[in-house]
Amino acid sequence: MIPSTFPQLGSSPIRLSQGHLNLLATCPRKFQYAFLDQLSSPNSTEQQERQTQGAQFHLLLQQWQLGLPIAPLTQADPQLDQWFKAFEAASSEILALPDSDSASIQQAEHERTLESQGYLLTMRYDLLLSGDRQSKILDWKTYPRPQNARHLAENWQTRLYLYGLAETSPYDPEQLSMVYWFFQGTQDDAMPQSLRFSYDRTQHNHTHQDLTQILQQLTDWLNQYADGESLPQLGPVNRECDRCNFFPRCFGGDSLERSALRHRAQPDQSPLKPADPLTLLEISKIQEVPL
């Protein structure tokens, strides 16, 4: 039972997924628009198609794991068929636990919830393998393996999923790991690629601190929001704003104007340089720009 003094949206406690935490850490105002104001941020047709196909692949693997027929899905979509063939080719490696432990429990699309500071933190694992000594979270991606593992290590999906499992299972953090599998192969190699993240008590404590901080900050922002104040936004020359569909709502103008703005502010930066991930501390220092 969540005490009524804890943050609520309407009459319900607030449920936060890794996506919400990533949104908050990226830009609190974007979190407000998408989550509190429930404004839609339209995706391009190409993005929507990719998302639909990715969702179908998750459904396909769930059906396979449950022993249900998958031919209707693979026969109707060559791309799904290709990804599934890649999964089959590597399935013995994908479904193995470290240290020769055997996975006695396999749970597809497995959900867990953890209460923290009155928020309900929700995790949804594509597949969770659990044995006597190890438990492994598996996550399916239908795009190529990224070159840089650091961004994924710092992503709230990795951090919350491992933290949540440690908090809601009998395993020690050192017995947990998370593996992302990327099924989009290259021309030269159709085999899926993976990125594995191990876990330990130090990481667990660090995530606990960051989570405590971000949730406390959110509670403060929600109190201010209830009094009519908006959540902080980034500056218009921030690279995150360049790719944000809410730019016109925040600052007006269009993408050409924003590029010009950024170029004037940071003329020596290459347009191809990836954005640095913002920490919550950095965000908290950013002055709110009045609308």
Closest CB to ligand SF4 among 162 and 234? 234
Q: Which of 233, 237, 262, 283 contacts ligand SF4 by CB under 6 A?
A: 233
CB nearer to ligand SF4: give 248 or 271.
248
In the chain the first and final C-alpha atoms are separated, in Å, by 39
Structure tokens at 205: 């404590």
Q: Cα-atom radius of gyration of the chain, to the nearest Å?
A: 21
Helix (H), strand (E) at residue 265: helix 255-265
Strands (E), the chain: 8-9, 12-13, 15-16, 105-116, 119-130, 135-141, 176-182, 193-198
Per rule CB under 6 A, is residue 37 in the interface with ligand SF4?
no
Is the CB of 41 or the CB of 106 nearer to ligand SF4? 41
Q: Which two tokens stand for residue 255?
A: 């993408």
* Burial (0-12, 13-18, 19+ Cβ within 10 Å), 164: buried
**Counting contacts by CB under 6 A, is residue 262 touching ligand SF4?**
no
Q: Which of 27, 97, 195, 218 binds ligand SF4 (CB under 6 A)?
A: 27
**Residues 139 and 181: beta-carbon distance below 8 Å:** yes
Whole-angstrom Cα distance, residue 246 to residue 233? 11
Q: Which is nearer to ligand SF4, 60 or 241 (CB)?
A: 241
How far apart are CB 28 and ligand SF4 at their closest, in Å?
8
Phi, psi of 8 (to 5 degrees): -135, 155
Burial track 103-142 (b if 16+ CB lie within 10 A, e otherwise): beeeebebebebeeebbbbbbebbbbbbbeebbbbbbbbb
Listed ranges 1-9, 15-23, 192-200, 234-242: which one lies at the site for ligand SF4 (CB under 6 A): 234-242
> Residue 240 CB, nearest distance to ligand SF4 (Å)?
5
Cβ proximity to ligand SF4: between 32 and 142 the closer is 32
| CA 43/CA 224 separation, integer angstroms | 30
Nearer to ligand SF4, 130 or 230 (CB): 230
Q: Which residue among 180, 244, 262, 283 contacts ligand SF4 (CB under 6 A)? A: 244
**Which one of the spans 11-19, 24-32, 65-73, 184-192 is the region binding ligand SF4 (CB under 6 A)?**
24-32
Could you tell me how many residues of this chain bind ligand SF4 (CB under 6 A)?
A: 13
By CB under 6 A, tell whether 246 contacts ligand SF4: yes
Binding to ligand SF4 by residue 136, rule CB under 6 A?
A: no
User: For ligand SF4, which is the closer residue by CB, 142 or 238?
Assistant: 238
Angle 270-234-273 from CA coordinates, rounded to 5°: 15
Task: Please report whether residue 234 would count as binding ligand SF4 according to CB under 6 A.
Answer: yes
At its nearest, how many Å lie between ligand SF4 and the CB of residue 36? 12
Q: List contacts with ligand SF4 (CB under 6 A).
A: 27, 29-30, 33, 233-234, 238, 240-241, 244, 246-247, 250
